[in-house]
Amino acid sequence: MPYARELKKGQIVEIEGQYYQVRQVEAKSPSARGAQTLYKIRFNSVPGGQKLEQTLTGDILLANVDMQRRAVTLLYREGDECTFMDTEDYTQYLVNVSTIEEQLLYIADNMEGLTALLVDGQLLAIDLPSSVALEIVDTTPGIKGASAAARTKPARLSTGLEVQVPEYLSNGEIIKINTETGKFMSRA
């Protein structure tokens, strides 16, 4: 059972019978003498994604969950379910689209670097890499010489994600997107 001070981003804990994944941890040190450090922790329920925010002292014990991390790739989507395959032993995991709706915008077919979080053999969440490379499928034509100005335009990517990109980019180019902020980083 981990203490609140030991929690790391991506870890899954059990709170009141529900599984939650740690999304962000902030430590706050009060200025009063003898005061304890407080940890402001943001959780998302898995599955579901409902947000929960708690402020805890470092000596609070949380129920740990026996979780496995497995490297997976997205095989295909069918209706409202996605099928992921373990890259080592080829086990397939079915998951409802609503469970991983936010992450699906960053996942292309056969993408490498995805990690499945499994509890009792059931896929609860997908851990994304810090950046992904996706293709621009729809944007206004690129403007020559537009690299000097820092103006942006909207672009739709192969997964349906819409981001702001520099004016000099055009359809068919592969770009890197930060999965935490959802913003353009660079050409791939």
Do 77 and 120 fall into the same domain?
A: yes
Domain of 177, CATH number, reads 2.40.50.140
Do 98 and 117 fall into the same domain?
A: yes
The last residue of one of the domains, among 64, 87, 113, is 64
Which pLDDT does position 8 carry in this prediction? 79
Do 174 and 147 fall into the same domain?
A: yes
Which pLDDT does position 33 carry in this prediction? 64
Per residue in 133-172, pLDDT (tens digit) is 999 999 888 666 655 567 888 999 998 999 999 888 889 9
The last residue of one of the domains, among 81, 96, 127, is 127
With residue 101 as reference, give the H or E element that holds it: helix 101-104
In angstroms, rounded to a whole number, what is the distance separating the alpha carbons of residues 99 and 97?
Answer: 5
Domain of 10, CATH number, reads 2.30.30.30
Which pLDDT does position 54 carry in this prediction? 83
Q: What is the mean pLDDT of each run of 10 residues along the chain (188 residues)?
A: 77 82 81 75 78 82 82 89 90 85 84 85 84 91 66 90 89 91 88
Do 137 and 122 fall into the same domain?
A: no
Omega of the bond leading into 30 within 30 degrees of 0 (cis):
no
Do 100 and 59 fall into the same domain?
A: no
Per residue in 93-106, pLDDT (tens digit) is 888 887 777 788 89
- How many domains, the chain? 3
State the SS3 of 117-144.
EEECCEEEEEECCCEEEEEEEEECCCCC
Do 165 and 182 fall into the same domain?
A: yes
Give residue for tokens 């599984």: 19
The last residue of one of the domains, among 127, 148, 171, is 127
Which pLDDT does position 176 carry in this prediction? 94
For residue 74, what are the domain limits? Answer: 67-127
Do 74 and 50 fall into the same domain?
A: no
